[in-house]
Structure 1
Amino acid sequence: MRCVALDGTGGPDVLVPGTCSMPEPGHGDLLVRVRACGVCGHDLLARSGALAAGHGAVLGHEIAGEVVAAGSDVEVDLVGRRVALVQRIPCGRCDECAAGLTTLCRQGPGFYGEDVPGGYAEYVLASPRNVVPVPDTIPDAAAAILSCAVGTGWRALRRAGTAPGDVVLVTGAGGGVGVHAVELAKHLGATVVALTGTAAKEKRLLELGADAVLVSPDTRAVRDCVRDLGGRRGADVALELTGGPTFRTALRALGPRGRLVLIGNTEPGTLPLEPGLAILKELTVYGSAHADATDLADVVGLVASGAVMPVPARTWALEDASAAHAAVERREVTGRAVLVP
């Protein structure tokens, strides 16, 4: 089958089109024909060598497609169904899976693009535990990004206990997770402050529901904006999507009992937590991973009902994966880049 694999690590040019072995579904497996695969910032980190993917790896964890075959002992009839995939295939047997914490499973096949070949290819293997059926009203390019670009923010907002009337700060708001986090927070009844490093994305963020958009702001500007929007002593929730570049600003923008949810870290490294600030304000810092199958099912329902609309994706042919990576790196894409085999 056609695929795009890493020829080492480095810039976008290490993504090389070619062919690789067609996967064969074994015991408990599903074979999925990939109809679309999103390009996530995680992919860029993996390509650059900051994560576990190595030479020959096939990246891509934002996958939608059609189940075309099933291995032995697959009890659910999914063949012929359109599906969206959760990024990690859990085992279904370990203590974490038994507790419903499938994002923490490390006994299963693992994460697409690192532990198992990903969606920069024509076919992938999946499991009934990581697929969610998608109605025909949701296009392939939108379905591909539901788990990561939409579901990640949905899980984080729920983890923070976001409620109507909360002031929610979203950093990295112009990226794929960020634009949808803005939309989801607004859907939950929050007042939303969006932080972005690209002025060209301001108009779109306002259209998606942001009450204010700040471009590369300092801490004082963020706190003043939050106060003007009703957060008298700071924001109630901060979704931290970029990590190092904005972590201090987001933390200091929180009011008493504020909750920061750390979702992304674009510059892997140590983050500066200020103990005095956290103690005096009684702040809570959460980590939140990718969506699980329950989160993805929620998101599919929200999109199918029209309550939330995925930002239209910019698409590239599979063989043009390097061009898609370059465009994302240059911050030319609002929302998600999507590869279409």
Structure 2
Amino acid sequence: MRCIALDGTGAPDVLVPGVRPVPQPGPGDLLIRVRACGVCGHDLLARRGRLSAGRGTVLGHEIAGEVVGVGVEVTDDLLHRRVALVQRIPCGHCPECAAGLTTLCREGPGFYGDDIPGGYSEYVLATPANVVPVPDSVPDVAAAILSCAVGTGLRALRRAGTRAGDLVVVTGAGGGVGVHAVQLAHHFGATVVALTGSPAKEKALLDLGADAVLVSPDVRAVRDCVRDLGGRRGADVAIELTGGPTFPLALRALGPRGQLVLVGNTEPATLPLEPGLSILKELTIHGSAHADTTDLAAAVELVASGAVTPVAAQTWPLDEAARAHEAVERRKVTGRAVLVP
């Protein structure tokens, strides 16, 4: 099979086309023919050497495809079905899995592109525990980004208990998770303030449901915008998708009993936390990981019903993964870049 593997870490040109044997499904496994794979900011960090990936790693955890083979101990119910995959294959028997906390499992095969070969290839292995069937009404390119780009934001908004009437600030709103978090918050009936570093993304974010878009704002600009939209003492929820660059701003945008959900960390670093602010406002800070199959199934339903439209900004052939990375790195993509084998 064709694949793209890291020839070391660094600039996009370390993504090199290659050929590897098609993986063979073992007991309990599914063999997936990859139809599309999203390019996530996590992939860029891994390629730069900021995560555990190294030479020979096949990146890609936003995967959709067709089940073309099953191992022993697996029924053939899913054979020839189109599916979307969650990013981690859980073990199914550890205490976390038994409690339904599969995103916290560390005893299973692991995370695509970090622990196991990912979707920058023509085939990957999966299990019934990390796939969700996709209806024919949802195209492959859209299906690929349902778990990470859509499901991650859905999980974060649920973590904060977001409801109609809330005022929600979304940082990094022009990225793959951000554009869908904006849509989802709007769908839930929230008032949405979208923060982006790119003026070119302003109109798209307004079209997706943002009530206001701020480009590289300071704290005062965000507070003024929130107040003008009815948040007299601050926002109810902040979905923090970039980490270091905007964390202090997002925290200060919150009103009393506000909730910040930390999802992304585009520039891994220690984040400054003002204890006095958190104490006096009785703020809550949540960590929120990737989607599980419950989140993914909900994302599939939202997209199939038309409530949310996946924003796959552009597609590239698999062999042009380096070009896709370059476009994402230069912030030329609103939504999600997708590779199509």
Aligned to 1:246: 246
- Residue correspondence of structure 1 range 73-92 to structure 2 within 5 A: 73-75=73-75, 77-92=77-92
Q: Which amino acid letter does the alignment assign opposite residue 179 of structure 1?
A: V
Q: Could you say which residue in structure 1 is the equivalent of 2:292?
A: 292
Distance (Å, rounded) in 2 between the aligned partners of 1:27 and 1:147: 25
Give the structure 1 partner of residue 193 of structure 2: 193
Per-residue CA deviation, residues 205-249 of structure 1 (Å, 9 max, x unaligned), is 000000000000000000000000000000000000000000000
In 1, Cα distance between equivalents of 2:253 and 2:233: 9
Q: Aligned partners of 1:203, 1:17: CA distance in 2, in Å?
A: 36
- CA contact under 8 A between 2:31 and 2:126: conserved in structure 1? yes
The aligned residue for residue 65 of structure 1 is 65
User: Matched residues in 2 for 1:208 and 1:44: separation?
Assistant: 25
Q: Deviations over 1:142-168 (max 9, x none)?
A: 000000000000000000000100000
| Structure 2 equivalent of residue 169 of structure 1 | 169
Per-residue Cα deviation, 1:15-47 (whole angstroms, up to 9, x for no partner): 000111210000000000000000000000000
CA distance in 1, matches of 2:333, 2:222: 24
Determine the C-alpha separation between the residues in 2 that align with 1:223 and 1:76: 55
Q: Does 1:181 align with 2:181?
A: yes
Which residue is 1:206 aligned to?
206
Residue deviations 1:97-117, cap 9 Å, x none? 000000000000000001000
Q: Secondary structure at the match of 2:321?
A: helix
Distance in 2 between residues matched to 1:315 and 1:303, nearest whole Å: 19
Q: Is 1:18 matched with 2:18?
A: yes
Residue in 2 that maps onto 1:157: 157
1:53 is aligned to 53
Q: How many pairs does the alignment contain?
A: 341
Q: CA deviation at 1:91?
A: 0.4
Q: Secondary structure at the match of 2:238?
A: strand
- Contact 1:65-1:82 within 8 A present in 2 as well: yes
Question: Unaligned regions of 5+ residues in structure 2, if any?
Answer: none
Question: Unaligned stretches of 5+ in structure 1?
Answer: none
Matched-pair contact (CA < 8 Å) for 2:70–2:76: no
Q: What is the rounded CA distance, in whole Å, between the counterparts of 2:99 and 2:216 in structure 1?
A: 41
Root-mean-square deviation (CA), in Å? 0.6
Query: Secondary structure of 1:186's match?
Result: helix
Matched AA of 1:259: Q
1:108 maps onto 2:108 in alignment: yes
Give, in angstroms, the shift of residue 312 of structure 1: 3.5
CA–CA separation in structure 1 for the residues paired with 2:58 and 2:204? 32
Q: Does residue 130 of structure 1 match 2:130?
A: yes
Tell me the distance in 1 between the aligned counterparts of 2:51 and 2:337: 20
1:339 corresponds in structure 2 to 339
Measured against aligned partners, the alpha-carbon deviations of 1:112-146 in whole angstroms (never above 9, x if no partner) come to 00100000000000000000000011010000000
* TM-superposed deviation, 1:322: 0.1
CA distance in structure 1 between the aligned counterparts of 2:21 and 2:38, rounded to whole angstroms? 22
Secondary structure of the 1:150 match is helix
Q: Shift in Å at residue 311 of structure 1?
A: 1.3
Cα separation, 2, equivalents of 1:31 and 1:112: 14
* Separation in 1, partners of 2:197, 2:64: 30
Q: Residues 76 and 128 of structure 1 are in contact (CA less than 8 Å); yes or no, is this contact kept in structure 2?
A: no
- Aligned position for 1:95: 95
Alignment partners' CA distance in 1, 2:180 and 2:284 = 23
Q: Which whole-Å CA distance do the structure 2 matches of 1:8 and 1:192 have between them?
A: 41
Query: Is the Cα contact below 8 Å between 1:23 and 1:125 reproduced in 2?
Result: yes
Relative to the length of structure 1, the TM-score reads 0.99
Task: Compute the displacement of 1:75 (Å).
Answer: 3.2
Given the two structures, how large is their TM-score scaled by the length of structure 2? 0.99
Q: CA deviation at 1:76?
A: 5.8
CA distance in 2, matches of 1:99, 1:267: 32
Alpha-carbon distance in structure 2 between the residues aligned to 1:199 and 1:313: 17
Aligned to 1:228: 228
Q: Give the Å deviation of 1:313.
A: 3.2
Look up the match of 2:272: 272
Moved more, 310-319 or 62-71: 310-319
The code of the aligned residue for 2:125 comes to L
Q: Percent identity among equivalent residues?
A: 80
Query: Contact conserved, 1:82 with 1:133, CA < 8 A, in 2?
Result: yes
What's the CA shift string for 1:273-308, capped at 9, x where partnerless?
100000000000000000000000000001001111
1:218 aligns with 2:211: no
SS at match of 2:78: coil
1:7 is matched with 7
3-state SS of the aligned residue for 2:36? strand
Give the 4+ runs in structure 1 shifted more than 3 A: none
